[in-house]
Structure 1
Amino acid sequence: MSLPEQTHQPVRAATAAFIGTTVEFYDFYTYATAAALVLGDVFFPSSNHFLSTMASFATFAVGFLARPLSGMVFGHWGDRLGRKKMLLLTMFLMGIATTGIGLLPSYERIGIWAPALLIGLRILQGIAVGGEWGGAVLMASEHAPQGRKTFFASFPQMGSPAGLILSLLSFRFVTSLDHASFVSWGWRLPFLASFVLLVIGLVIRMGVNESPEFERLKRTQQVAKSPVAEVLRTAWYPILLAAAATTIGSAGFFFTNTFMISYVTTYLGMPKSLILDCLFAVTIIQLCSQPIAALIAERVGETRFLTGAALLSMITPYPMFLLVNTQQPLALIAGISLAVVTLSAIYAVIAGFMTPAFPTRVRYSGISIAYQLCCTIAGGTTPLIGTMLAQHYKGEWMPLACFFTVLSAISLFGIVGLGRYRKGLSSEEVVGVLAN
């Protein structure tokens, strides 16, 4: 490899990770937004809107069930065959699944086959995104210059708000249609656009070299034969801590972006277009704030930064709901932004924070299992729990705010524990520190 190519590879890898995860998260958020707006009516028609919404969010949660197993499978082969191959495969699977959802006939057309096929494609989405995150993070961080891994690892994390921006733009366009057209065919257009993004993403990713750290393992013949078994045997403790640390960074987005759409339209009676416009503004703020958060964390220290962000995240849902319930657009943007900026600061830094906790030979498996375990338990269930709380405590936002605080507290526990673990303390010592 020539010197100029070596010099440009870190930036190229980080850019490709950002663009690739943008495409993946566009697909994922497109489903999440559609689940809140229309999928219940199309695939689970009922005279009770609450039941239709719950059924729609249940299919959203189903996609998360595949993610831990997918993380293990792609983690295994990513540690065995390389990060790049797995990233190309996950992007292909996600694009095919999302495009397929856009082509599905409704319940009125084919009956029970419609929700059955929807669930199948949703599971395929979960399989794809389950293997995507770990590989994208490693391609960016393992290409990064020494001392800049936290910042470079934040690039794939920016794919989440960027993908959401694209998704919100697409739905802002189709929700401008009359209701009948939107329910009949308009909602399908964002899903079908995924095929174009799939082609773009594949072309970009094919131009990036394999991770230099993985190539070094191959040259020295240190590639793990059974990386998943090895990491579960030798690093189960940091897996649990990393999963806990990631909680608010994963579940918080589905709270503020997915559940909040349903909350303000169903319980506050606000127009769909208004909340989508507000979330669009919030997401732009998030996209700008994440790289700043990563740069600050590099200067002050990751553990200190993440601890402070988690403490702030425990407080922010209370002013958020006070502002949201005014039903004023600027107040909505300010309130949701308070919560999103703090939780996205955690999300931006957490990838670079957890990566060094695992040896290179099992790193893809370790971080994938940790992240996907968290997403399954906390991310996939958050809209469901939020909807149940909102239905049970109609007119009251305090239980919802307390739920958000609990999610943040779990992250704080994991961050403190993982920080101690990285300093070389034993499992027993870490437990003792947290208990005291």
Structure 2
Amino acid sequence: MVATLPKPDLRYTWKVTASSFLGNTLEYYDFLVYGTAAAVVFPKVFFPDASGFVATLSAFGTFAVGFLARPLGGLFFGSRGDRHGRKSTLMVTLVVMGLSTILIGLLPSYGTIGIWAPVLLVVLRLMQGFAVGGEWGGSMIIVLESAPPNRRGFFSAWPNTGGFSAQILITGVFAYIYTLPDDQLLSWGWRIPFLLSAVVLVVTFWMRRSLHETPVFTEAVAGGKESEPGAVEAERPKHGPIRTIFVDDWRNLLLIIGLRFAEALPYFLLTVFALSYGSSALGLEKTQLNNAILIAAVLSFISHGVFSAISDRIGRRPVYFFGAVVVFVMAFPFFAMLHSGSMVLIVLGYVLVLNLGHNAINAIQPAFFAELFPAERRYTGAAAGREIASIFAGGLTPFIATALAGADGTRWPLVAGYVMLGALITMFAVWKAPESFRRDLSATGKTVR
């Protein structure tokens, strides 16, 4: 079934885009501030009895735990969003996500409450991951379904720069945190970045309250039950969106898992693992790596705009494949640049991997993933697919990379090979994926193959 949708209001589209951008910024801020703290502070605050290497692995293990809850959140909130609407679901994910992060900032240390400190840390991390699982899919889809058809890639790319706007915020905050004496850093300084998320939470909640439900949902999904009974009954799914995506859309779910490797591996490797590896194994100053991340984060806004606009003209697949090739080629050179200790080469490595490789993928990922699913199960499919992939291609990255590199970091070629393998998996997935940039978003029923 295909519904006739009203012409998008460009001014309102920008408003929806700004709201989703702030929501995604909060999502990534919450997760990356945890990742940064896990690399720098948490081994001493929550795992003080373990050796340095084991404590770091334990901290990164709690980082990975959040990703285990994300698929459940994607399924739960995705199903809710496909049944009851995108906007109301996003209000819930925003509040749960923000409050869990604030509570992490209020946790007592291991020295205060003993084993309950890491236990509560894991519980809050699970809550955080559960909410984040529904936030990304909904915030991207509400933009995609509100944008002009020929500019869907462009508009949906901007919320996905939330990871880099969050990185700018985190870099600025931790630039101050790193100046604190160790005793202040470990007692109260590390809490500041977590508590500051309350500001983004309040602003985003205020903006999101004034949004409308998307025309695709109101006309094609909620309104589809009333129109042309004969045509609708032939295409209407017999089961709910969760069961349907695993029965009818399982190929696209597998594709999304493969498509995520070349995006998630380099991102978490460069923004989380490298902070720990660079300082402990190479003796680099934390400020060097943070400045390199900051430069790449600023440039990401330009690259996202360029790559997304190109994808609206030539399609998603060519741009996505290009990004995966860059990630593959740069795996070993990046480590060589990092080992050089030269600030110029380190920044160049970050720019090439993130802005040229990762950004080409990240810019069009929201449109590409969502366009693979029909309207009545789009939220469930895109959210669940991405978050299931996050377990394999995201949350475990710092843990696996740390284990592969070893306690002294001398086995770094294994980490580079790990990235290359992920890029190859993504290239294969792009080759098997259908082109989707001209798909009618109001279509329901059959999946895209």
Shared fold (TM-score, shorter chain, > 0.5): yes
Equivalence map 1:210-221=2 (5 Å)? 210-216=213-219, 217-221=221-225
Residues of 2 paired with 1:326 and 1:46: CA distance?
A: 34
Corresponding residue of 1:406: 421
Corresponding residue of 1:101: 104
Corresponding residue of 2:47: 44
Corresponding residue of 1:372: 387
Residues of 1 paired with 2:403 and 2:90: CA distance?
A: 36
Corresponding residue of 1:246: 260
Corresponding residue of 1:289: 303
Corresponding residue of 1:63: 66
Q: CA offsets, 1:162-213, max 9 Å, x none? A: 1121112111111111121111110100001111211111011112211110
2:49 maps to a residue whose letter is: S
RMSD: 2.0
Corresponding residue of 2:367: 352
Corresponding residue of 2:410: 395
Corresponding residue of 2:207: 204
- Contact 1:32/1:258 (<8 A) preserved: yes
- Contact 2:47/2:55 (<8 A) preserved: yes
Residues of 1 paired with 2:436 and 2:298: CA distance?
A: 35
Corresponding residue of 1:427: none
Residues of 2 paired with 1:145 and 1:420: CA distance?
A: 18
Residues of 2 paired with 1:202 and 1:278: CA distance?
A: 32
Residues of 2 paired with 1:126 and 1:237: CA distance?
A: 25
Residues of 1 paired with 2:368 and 2:193: CA distance?
A: 34
> How far is 1:4 from its partner?
11
- Contact 1:393/1:399 (<8 A) preserved: no
Q: CA offsets, 1:246-300, max 9 Å, x none? A: 2221232111100010110110012222222221122212233112111122223
Corresponding residue of 1:322: 336
Secondary structure in 1 matching 2:363: helix
Secondary structure in 1 matching 2:296: helix
Does 2:324 align with 1:310?
yes
Q: How many residues align?
A: 423
Divergent runs of 4+, >3 A = 3-7, 222-225, 420-424
Name the stretch that deviates more: 253-262 or 16-25. 16-25
- Percent sequence identity is 34
- Contact 1:72/1:365 (<8 A) preserved: yes
> How far is 1:340 from its partner?
0.8
2:66 maps to a residue whose letter is: G
Residues of 2 paired with 1:68 and 1:47: CA distance?
A: 30
Q: CA offsets, 1:310-334, max 9 Å, x none? A: 1121101222111111112221111
Secondary structure in 2 matching 1:148: helix
Structure 1 pair 421–196 and aligned structure 2 pair: CA distance change class (3 A):
closer
TM-score by length of 1: 0.93
Which runs of 5 or more structure 2 residues have no equivalent in the other structure?
1-5, 226-231, 440-448
Structure 1 pair 261–44 and aligned structure 2 pair: CA distance change class (3 A):
same
2:305 maps to a residue whose letter is: P
Residues of 2 paired with 1:114 and 1:47: CA distance?
A: 15
- Contact 2:266/2:327 (<8 A) preserved: no
> How far is 1:397 from its partner?
3.0
Corresponding residue of 2:443: none
TM-score by length of 2: 0.90
Q: CA offsets, 1:138-185, max 9 Å, x none? A: 011000112111111212211111112111211111111112111111
Structure 1 pair 197–139 and aligned structure 2 pair: CA distance change class (3 A):
same
Does 2:182 align with 1:179?
yes
- Contact 2:316/2:435 (<8 A) preserved: no
Corresponding residue of 1:130: 133
1:331 maps to a residue whose letter is: L
Residues of 2 paired with 1:81 and 1:159: CA distance?
A: 26
Residues of 1 paired with 2:373 and 2:7: CA distance?
A: 30
Question: Of 267, 276, 280, which aligns to 1:262?
Answer: 276
Residues of 1 paired with 2:263 and 2:203: CA distance?
A: 27
- Contact 2:256/2:369 (<8 A) preserved: yes
Secondary structure in 1 matching 2:101: helix
Secondary structure in 1 matching 2:149: coil
